[in-house]
């Protein structure tokens, strides 16, 4: 059961995060320098009404996923995050669960890559954070909820992604995804969200179930990828995945070779964002 101080803490920390620091556009007059409720809701992937009820103490049982999302959106330190969990009447996630905490240094790294598509994933390939250029390139994830934010789920039970594959490369990609997820499940066997996702994927996708049961192994490799953007067409981009040591996070970065048509198209997408280019 969350205490009244939970809502007060969320409001206090919301006031100290500027839109610029959160990667949000700043427009119009603002009565305060911090985040608006709707901006926090967008960053955390929850409704504005729920943020309001939490801050006013009318919602008293936030889930661990909601608390984690709020901590991430509010850019809390590890100590502040643990405090927010306790205010919610929950124990901070332990070593048996997949880490989803993004430490301040990773936030600062993304802040400096404002013109480059960058996203942060946890060890299950669940999207934790995407900067505006990534959203413009790969599709706006702000409306994705639950397993919709997981790349494995989207590949086997959802709409997939804008990355293009040949039949051979798709088979290798999917095998690598399942092998990587299996390795994560072995590191975090007690994580309830991961176990539930694997169970639902096995029931939803025969191909996932076959790959999972076969024990097939393959590595996830970065390299040149073709992204089919709905407005500017295909882009050939380098995709690099960086590991955050100690946090078990993956940072995905897309770049284009300078001076190429792909670089020009990527720059156009980055400038115009998620708005329709033909509008």
Instruction: Tell me: pLDDT of 266 over 70.
Output: yes
Per the CB < 8 A criterion, the answer to whether 132 and 141 are in contact is no
Q: What is the mean pLDDT of the chain?
A: 89
Map tokens 């190429």 to a residue: 260
pLDDT tens sequence across 128-161: 999 989 999 999 888 888 899 999 999 999 988 9
- Lowest mean per-residue pLDDT among 75-84, 175-184, 212-221: 212-221
Quote the CATH superfamily of domain 4-87. lambda repressor-like DNA-binding domains (1.10.260.40)
SS3 of 267, please?
helix
Q: Could you please state the CATH topology (level 3) that the domain comprising 104-272 is classified under.
A: Beta-Lactamase (3.30.450)
Q: How confident is the model at residue 67 (pLDDT cuts 50, 70, 90)?
A: very high
141/150 Cα distance (integer angstroms):
11
Structure token digits, residue 155: 């590949």
Instruction: Tell me: pLDDT of 119 over 80.
Output: yes
Distances from the Cα of 134 to the Cαs of 42, 142, 167, 215, 274, in angstroms? Answer: 16, 12, 25, 32, 10
DSSP structure class, residue 278: T
Query: What pTM was estimated for this model as a whole?
Result: 0.84
So where are the chain's domains?
4-87, 104-272
């Amino acid at each position: 059961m969350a205490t009244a101080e939970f809502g007060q803490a969320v409001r206090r920390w919301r006031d100290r995060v500027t839109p610029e620091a959160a990667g949000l556009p700043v427009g119009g007059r603002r009565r305060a320098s911090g985040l608006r409720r709707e901006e926090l809701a967008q960053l955390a992937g929850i409704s504005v009404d729920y943020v309001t009820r939490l801050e006013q103490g009318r919602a008293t049982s936030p889930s661990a996923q909601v608390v984690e999302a709020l901590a991430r959106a509010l850019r809390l330190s590890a100590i502040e995050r643990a405090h927010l969990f306790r205010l919610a009447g929950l124990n901070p996630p332990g070593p048996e669960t997949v880490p989803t905490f993004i430490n301040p240094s990773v936030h600062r790294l993304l802040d400096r890559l404002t013109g480059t598509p960058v996203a942060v994933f946890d060890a299950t390939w669940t999207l934790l954070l995407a900067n505006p250029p990534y959203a413009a390139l790969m599709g706006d994830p702000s409306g994705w909820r639950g397993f919709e934010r997981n790349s494995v789920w989207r590949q086997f039970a959802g709409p997939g992604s804008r990355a293009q594959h040949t039949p051979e490369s798709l088979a290798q990609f999917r095998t690598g995804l399942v092998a990587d997820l299996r390795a994560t499940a072995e590191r975090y066997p007690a994580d309830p969200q991961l176990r539930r996702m694997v169970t639902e994927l096995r029931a939803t996708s025969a191909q996932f179930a076959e790959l999972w049961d076969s024990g097939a192994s393959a590595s996830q490799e970065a390299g040149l990828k073709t992204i089919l953007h709905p407005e500017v067409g295909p882009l050939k981009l380098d995709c690099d995945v960086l590991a955050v040591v100690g946090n078990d996070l993956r940072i995905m970065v897309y770049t284009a070779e300078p001076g190429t048509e792909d670089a020009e198209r990527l720059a156009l997408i980055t400038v115009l964002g998620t708005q329709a280019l033909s509008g």
